[in-house]
Amino acid sequence: MHASRQSLQYARQLFRLSLADGQISAERVSGVLAYLDKHPPRQPLVILQHYRRLVAAQLAKNCAFVEHAGPIASGLLRTIEDVLSKKYQRPIAAATRPNPDLIAGLRIQVGDDLYESSIASQLAALSAP
Amino acid sequence: MFTLVLAATAEAHAATSSSSPVDLLLQFGVEWKYVVWQFISFAILAGFLYQFAIKPILATVDERNARLAVGLKNAEDTVAKLAEAQQQAAEEIKKAQAAANKIIEETRKTAKEFSDLQAKEATTRGNEMITKAQQAIDLEHKKMLEEARLEVARLVVRTTQQVLARELSDAERARYNEAATREITTV
């Protein structure tokens, strides 16, 4: 289905209504979804998809996805959260996910930024042309 | 006949020996008036012939002689002109021969220069081709060495990955993770 300009603009308006102090508010998101349920727009699927993409992007900005190989102490995760929150000047929560391909080390993604220090990346740099 | 001649001769001899020449002529029957008339008629005839026959003939002869003289003169002039033309032709031929020889010599020289130039260009082109081929060979050699180096590096890295993935303990990984956290947070 072709997304009309009005639908995308409407999705952005809904997204702005979902923010509280620059952060995604679960209550407001629930309210927006309830409103859409009661008053379905002309292109509900397109609007919801775009709205979900905007909300996910905003949530990703406040979340640091930490991939790791081997055990990682909780203290290290808090250190990462503190440092990144200071750096980006917004609260950032760490979400871990094991990745054995790293062999050892970490790969952290915050929004579009990627930080990595792992044995796999160092070995890849050695074999790069 | 012979007798008559002898008789006349004898009579003439007798008359000659006995009288003057005029008498002798008279004895032969020469009469002066006829002689005069003969002279007059001869003179008239001679004049007539001279006026209407000899004079035109002489004029024609003179005209023909003049024509012959003119023809001879023309022939001499023609011969002279012919000789001059032959001489000029010979000179022209000589000049043309010299010019032809000069042209041939210049052509040979030009051909030799062109041949030398072609040979030089061919040599230069050949050297350039050899240089380019050598450069291509060197480049290919470097590329091959680089590919070999990359392949060796990949093999080493893959082997190292396998070894590390199998041999590293959790404690070692945890220490590495701490170091990685320090590295990332200090960036």
In the predicted model, what is the mean pLDDT of residues B129-154? 93
Extract the tokens encoding B81: 């002109």
- Domain assignment of residue B93, yes or no: yes
Total count of domains within chain B: 1
Nearest residue in chain B measured CA to CA from A77: B181
- Domain assignment of residue B84, yes or no: yes
In the predicted model, what is the mean pLDDT of residues B2-20? 54
B142 contacts in chain A (CB < 8 Å): none
Lowest mean pLDDT among A27-36, A85-94, B7-16: B7-16
Mean pLDDT for chain B overall: 87
Query: Percent of chain A, pLDDT > 90?
Result: 53
Spatial CA neighbour of B160 closest among A119, A55, A58: A119
B154 contacts A105? CB cut-off 8 A: no
**Cross-strand bridge partners of residue A65:** A95, A109
Q: Please tell me whether residue A89 adopts helix, strand or coil conformation.
A: coil
Query: Percent of chain A, pLDDT > 70?
Result: 97
B156 contacts A129? CB cut-off 8 A: no
- Domain assignment of residue B125, yes or no: yes
Range(s) of the domain holding residue B129: 31-185
Please give the Cα distance from A87 to B187 (Å, whole number): 10
In the predicted model, what is the mean pLDDT of residues A3-15? 89
Q: What is the pLDDT of residues B90-130, one digit of tens each?
A: 999 999 999 999 999 999 999 999 999 999 999 999 999 99
At residue B11, the pLDDT reads: 58
At residue B90, the pLDDT reads: 93
Residue B138: CB partners within 8 Å, gap ≥ 6?
Answer: none
Pick the CATH number of A62-127 from 3.30.70, 3.40.30, 3.40.50, 1.20.140: 3.40.30
Domain boundaries, chain A: 5-60, 62-127
- Domain assignment of residue B25, yes or no: no
At residue B158, the pLDDT reads: 86
At residue B3, the pLDDT reads: 54
Of A104, A124, A129, the CB nearest to B168: A104
Nearest residue in chain B measured CA to CA from A128: B150
Instruction: Tell me: pLDDT of B172 over 70.
Output: yes
At residue B150, the pLDDT reads: 87
Q: Residues A54, A48: contact at Cβ < 8 Å?
A: no
Per-residue CA distances from A61 to A24, A65, B136 (Å): 10, 10, 51
Q: Please tell me whether residue B7 adopts helix, strand or coil conformation.
A: helix
Extract the tokens encoding A13: 């308006």
pLDDT band at B9 (very low <50, low <70, confident <90, very high): low
- Domain assignment of residue B87, yes or no: yes
Report ipTM (2 d.p.).
0.70
B184 contacts A108? CB cut-off 8 A: yes
Instruction: Tell me: pLDDT of A97 over 60.
Output: yes
Please give the Cα distance from A85 to A61 (Å, whole number): 11
At residue B23, the pLDDT reads: 80
Spatial CA neighbour of A12 closest among A31, A32, A42, A30: A32
Collect all residues from A whose CB is shorter than 8 A from any CB in B: 68-73, 76, 79-80, 83, 100, 103-106, 108, 115-120, 123-124, 126-127, 129
A122 contacts in chain B (CB < 8 Å): none
- Domain assignment of residue B12, yes or no: no
B183 contacts A80? CB cut-off 8 A: no
- Domain assignment of residue B103, yes or no: yes
